[in-house]
Structure 1
């Protein structure tokens, strides 16, 4: 008999709304995650500590651990602390670095993990991937998808606006990543998971066509749900392919060559825009330029403090960050002089559209 369906790992609970954090104890109990609140709460140096104090009265049995840096060493140290006693789950509260440390440590300990996002900077809030720094370089590690994902719009609103806007760039980059995946299918016969692709594409399309901004709850909800959809897409196919192509290769290259330049989402959006230009897709290029510029996200190397020559170096280095991945960058195999010429044309196209 043919297989007529497949099982897909997804969070048991997803909640995007104002006031969601106050219901954390109820969510843990109702979801059979932790009836008595015996959880390890992992917070970062920002809003996480404030949220931990908010939930402490209803989670009296919880232990709170503070982490910083988003490094593999921080995750290993946390894993050691989780061995002190038995926990029902790990609750990561904060931005992407804190959540990635919590995801990795929980996976190593074999514990379910609850993601409580206080910012919308990237799709790590619900993905089966933890991005951690080791020896100065950021690496991606496979982890279990969070058992619950909570986004409280009150805390998102009070966080740094630039961090939240960066998530727009990460979602928009799905469009370029999916084009790269399709290119790999055509050229190398790489299989494309249609369900994963449709989830990643739907979130990006909803966001790129939404007229709202970060001051609009409806828009922020779409952004949060699009980031969650990206994470689910990766979990469905077991790879970051639906959300990571040449765009993220450029992002990782900039991180490696010029650390501290800009955030994950800002660089992913810029990388996606340049890859779309290389692909010759003028329709998508126009859509993406308009969206990124409207949301005050970078569209040129200068917008993130890079010279043209530094950006050329990053594009040349980019394929080395993901040796197994086939994208428009590997397909074109541009020389430094080729990239300089394409970048000059790209700058002209940006100027024509934005003035």
Structure 2
């Protein structure tokens, strides 16, 4: 008998709205995650006190832990603290570093984890991956997908605009990642998961063509849902393939060679635009370039303070960051001289757009 369905891990509850943090107790109770508020709340050092004051009325039984740094050591230290008593769930409230620390710590003891995002920097808010720094190098660690994902638009609106815009770059990079996946199918017969690809593509297309900006609740909601959809795409296929191709190889290479250059989303967007140019997909290149320009995101190496020599080195090094992944960068096998020539053509094309 053929297999007629498959089981997919997904959050039980997803909510994107204003005032979510203040009403967290009600959200957890309505979602049947924690009726009595016996949860461990993990906050970052920046918003810790403000968040603690907001949740106390509805989560009086919660223990609040502060996690800083987004490191593997911090996540392991938090995991040790979680053994102090039984918790219905671990609730990570904050940006990517705080949420990823909470995801990893909760997974260590198989405790359900609730992701409460106060920024829209990348698709980690709903993914089965935690990005943590270990010995100065950022690595990706497999974790349980959050049991619930909540985005508080009040905090997003009041947060750093540049941080939130980075999520746009991360989402639209899915378009480049999916093109790389299709290339791998054509060249290496790599299987493509159609459901995962659809989830990753729908969110990217919605953000790419949305006329709103970061001051528009409608646009923020679409961006938040696109990031969540991207995380679900990774959970569906069991890897980051639908959301990570040559674009993220460039991002990881930049982080390795020139740490602190720009954010995850900014570099993913730049990498996606460059890889799309390498594919000579003029329609997609124009659409992505226009979107990045409209949202004031980097489009050239100079925009992130990298000179030609540095970016050539990044692109040359990029395939080594994901040796098992086939993308346009592996397909072209460019020498440093060819990369420099392509970069000059790319800069001209961006300027013309």
Same fold, TM-score > 0.5, yes or no: yes
By how many angstroms is 1:23 displaced? 2.2
1:9 matches 2:9: yes
By how many angstroms is 1:68 displaced? 1.1
Q: Counterpart of 1:317?
A: 317
Separation in 1 of the partners of 2:119 and 2:67?
16
Separation in 1 of the partners of 2:219 and 2:260?
28
Separation in 2 of the partners of 1:185 and 1:49?
50
Q: Counterpart of 1:144?
A: 144
By how many angstroms is 1:107 displaced? 0.6
1:285 matches 2:281: no
Question: Aligned to 2:265, what secondary structure does the other structure show?
Answer: helix
Question: Aligned to 2:22, what secondary structure does the other structure show?
Answer: helix
Write the deviation string for residues 228-247 of structure 1: whole angstroms up to 9, x where unpaired: 00000000110100100000
Q: TM-score, normalised by structure 2?
A: 0.99
Separation in 2 of the partners of 1:335 and 1:203?
34
Q: Counterpart of 2:194?
A: 194
Write the deviation string for residues 106-126 of structure 1: whole angstroms up to 9, x where unpaired: 011110000000000000000
Query: What aligned pairs does 1:194-233 form with structure 2 within 5 A after superposition?
Result: 194-233=194-233
Question: Aligned to 2:14, what secondary structure does the other structure show?
Answer: strand
Separation in 2 of the partners of 1:75 and 1:310?
33
Write the deviation string for residues 273-312 of structure 1: whole angstroms up to 9, x where unpaired: 0000111111100000000011000000010111111111
Instruction: Choose 130-139 or 40-49, whichever is displaced more.
Output: 40-49
Q: Counterpart of 2:256?
A: 256
1:47 and 1:118 in contact (8 A); partners too:
no
1:64 matches 2:64: yes
Instruction: Choose 226-235 or 50-59, whichever is displaced more.
Output: 50-59
By how many angstroms is 1:58 displaced? 1.5
By how many angstroms is 1:56 displaced? 1.3
2:23 and 2:58 in contact (8 A); partners too:
no
2:17 and 2:151 in contact (8 A); partners too:
yes
Instruction: Choose 235-244 or 27-36, whichever is displaced more.
Output: 27-36
Q: Counterpart of 2:235?
A: 235
1:339 matches 2:339: yes
Separation in 2 of the partners of 1:3 and 1:22?
44
Question: Aligned to 1:58, what secondary structure does the other structure show?
Answer: coil
1:164 matches 2:136: no
Question: Aligned to 1:198, what secondary structure does the other structure show?
Answer: helix
Question: Aligned to 1:86, what secondary structure does the other structure show?
Answer: coil
By how many angstroms is 1:48 displaced? 4.3
Question: Aligned to 1:64, what secondary structure does the other structure show?
Answer: strand
Q: Counterpart of 1:244?
A: 244
Q: Counterpart of 1:128?
A: 128
* Matched positions, count: 353
By how many angstroms is 1:46 displaced? 2.1
Separation in 2 of the partners of 1:10 and 1:78?
24
Query: What aligned pairs does 1:19-168 form with structure 2 within 5 A after superposition?
Result: 19-168=19-168
In structure 1, the gaps of 5 or more residues are: none
Separation in 2 of the partners of 1:57 and 1:209?
41
Separation in 2 of the partners of 1:201 and 1:35?
36
Write the deviation string for residues 150-200 of structure 1: whole angstroms up to 9, x where unpaired: 001111000000000000000010000000011111111111000010010
Question: Aligned to 2:138, what secondary structure does the other structure show?
Answer: strand
Separation in 2 of the partners of 1:157 and 1:96?
16
Instruction: Choose 240-249 or 14-23, whichever is displaced more.
Output: 14-23
Question: Aligned to 2:23, what secondary structure does the other structure show?
Answer: helix
By how many angstroms is 1:38 displaced? 1.1
Separation in 1 of the partners of 2:344 and 2:9?
44
Write the deviation string for residues 319-352 of structure 1: whole angstroms up to 9, x where unpaired: 1111111111111111111100000000010111
Separation in 2 of the partners of 1:275 and 1:108?
37
